Chains A and B, each alone.
Chain A
Amino acid sequence: MKVSYYPGCTLRNKARDLDIWARRSAEALGVELCELEDWQCCGGVFVAARDEIATKLSSVRALAQARDRGQPLVTVCSACHNVIKRTNQTLRTDADFAAKVHNYMAQDPNPIAPYTGETEVYHYLELLRDVVGFDRVRAAVKHPLTGKKIAAYYGCLLLRPGKVMRMDDPENPRVMEDFIRALGAEPVVYPARNECCGGYVVLENAQSAEKRSRTVSASAAGHGAEMIVTACPLCKYNLVKSGSELPVVYFTELLAEALGVKEESYAE
């Protein structure tokens, strides 16, 4: 099947591993990720204020392009997913916002038809769970990660606000644990798995982010994990920078390894 794919700014730069293994794994699972043309950065964080319009237009353009292709839109980065999904939900529920967005969009050189939230947005994990199915993932595994104890780190962006993200139970999620099981490994459930790593505050108050991240990695290590997996480049950065005693790996890299499509290196 074909889906539209929005990589986002970091996946083209510091988080190449998150992107490349997502693409290779999708190929192995029979899903064609069709990258959007001329996509623009989502801005990294959703600004909830109701009068913020311009900061959400890059998401609208991505969503509208997927609609015009008749495809769902797939994201991999937790931040892109949070911003695009929340923008989509606001368009669905706030007619005043949608009207203002359309007024802005009408100024584009090639204006799009009014967009009001028609596109379905899937995070890559949802694609695996709901479209491909974890059973098919399990069947495609060539190198099961048997015996590995892996801590799924959700952070804040994948799950909250729960009423909008609707990926999983925001307080007791299981999608990443089920993903880990599908790869043959053993998920480790630990208290801090859905707490924030400190996020962008690392540039404002580095000590604050360090404390938050150490809490997360210590919680995972204390519950017997050998490794932490994440979908978020900023979570990975903060955890590593704060001195996590466990390796922090993108979930797509783990998937590629299990599917047997991970090579030693890839062409830049």
Chain B
Amino acid sequence: MQNKNERRREQILRISGVNPLKCMRCGKCSATCPSYDEMEYHPHEFVYMVETGDLEPLIHSTSIYQCLSCMACVERCPRGVEPGKLIEALRLTVIREKDANHMTADTIPAVIDDETPQQAIVSALRKYTK
């Protein structure tokens, strides 16, 4: 288990290009996050927990599906840590596992209406499936 966790952590850091050690724990990313209220773990916690390898709670939290990829945290981080990219990488390591897609084409009809733009569907599938 130890090895699997460490491998995942290494993969998150590699594909995101994020260095959590640059973080000075000011919390601006979470303060500016539009999805803050929807999250159990917030952007600054993602950064710290990936740094320390405390990944299990994040993997099983719905917080990884609440990020809007709006890049507010990336733009406003005074240290250039780019938490949004870290959250995305973590989510990818989860949904890339076998049968772990978070959304499937079958579930789409129930959540759209006559006006839903194609953009919403392709974006959601790209974010929530491999």
Interface residues of A (CB under 8 A from B): 8-10, 13-15, 41, 43-52, 55, 77, 79, 155-156, 159-162, 170-171, 195-196, 198-206, 208, 211-212, 232-234, 236-237, 240-241
Interface bits B86-130 vs A (CB < 8 Å: 1, else 0): 001100100000000011000010011101111111111011100
What's the least CB distance linking A191 to chain B, in Å? 12
Inter-subunit contact A208/B122 (CB<8 Å) = no
| Residue among A8, A15, A48, A240 facing the most chain B CB atoms (10 A cut-off) | A48
Inter-subunit contact A45/B117 (CB<8 Å) = no
What's the least CB distance linking B16 to chain A, in Å? 7
Partner of A43, one of B35, B88, B126: B126
Partner of A199, one of B37, B68, B92: B68
CA distance A203 to B128 in the complex (A): 10
Chain B interface main SS type: helix
What's the least CB distance linking B59 to chain A, in Å? 16
Inter-subunit contact A237/B115 (CB<8 Å) = yes
Inter-subunit contact A45/B71 (CB<8 Å) = no
Kindly state whether residue B34 has any CB partner on chain A within 8 Å: yes
Partner of A196, one of B14, B70, B85: B70
Inter-subunit contact B68/A47 (CB<8 Å) = no
Inter-chain contacts of A10 with B (CB < 8 A) = 117-119
Kindly state whether residue B74 has any CB partner on chain A within 8 Å: yes
Inter-subunit contact B70/A44 (CB<8 Å) = no
Interface residues of B (CB under 8 A from A): 14-17, 34-35, 37-38, 65-66, 68-72, 74-75, 84-85, 88-89, 92, 102-103, 108, 111-113, 115-124, 126-128
* Contacts known (A43-B122, A79-B123); A15 close to B85, Cβ less than 8 A: no
Inter-subunit contact A203/B124 (CB<8 Å) = yes
Inter-subunit contact A234/B66 (CB<8 Å) = no
What are 9 A-B interface contacts by the 8 Å CB criterion? Answer: A15-B119, A41-B122, A52-B15, A196-B72, A199-B68, A232-B119, A233-B117, A237-B116, A240-B115
Partner of A156, one of B15, B70, B89, B124: B70
Partner of B15, one of A49, A195, A236, A240: A49
Inter-subunit contact B72/A156 (CB<8 Å) = yes
What's the least CB distance linking A222 to chain B, in Å? 18
Inter-subunit contact B65/A9 (CB<8 Å) = no
Give B86's nearest chain A residue, CB to CB. A48
* Contacts known (A196-B34, A204-B103); A45 close to B127, Cβ less than 8 A: yes
Inter-subunit contact A156/B71 (CB<8 Å) = yes
CA distance A77 to B123 in the complex (A): 13
What's the least CB distance linking B81 to chain A, in Å? 13
20 other contacts beyond A200-B120, A205-B66, with CB at 8 A cut-off? A14-B115, A44-B126, A45-B123, A47-B126, A47-B127, A48-B88, A48-B89, A156-B68, A156-B70, A156-B72, A195-B34, A196-B34, A200-B127, A201-B65, A201-B124, A203-B111, A204-B128, A212-B34, A234-B119, A241-B113
Inter-subunit contact B117/A15 (CB<8 Å) = yes
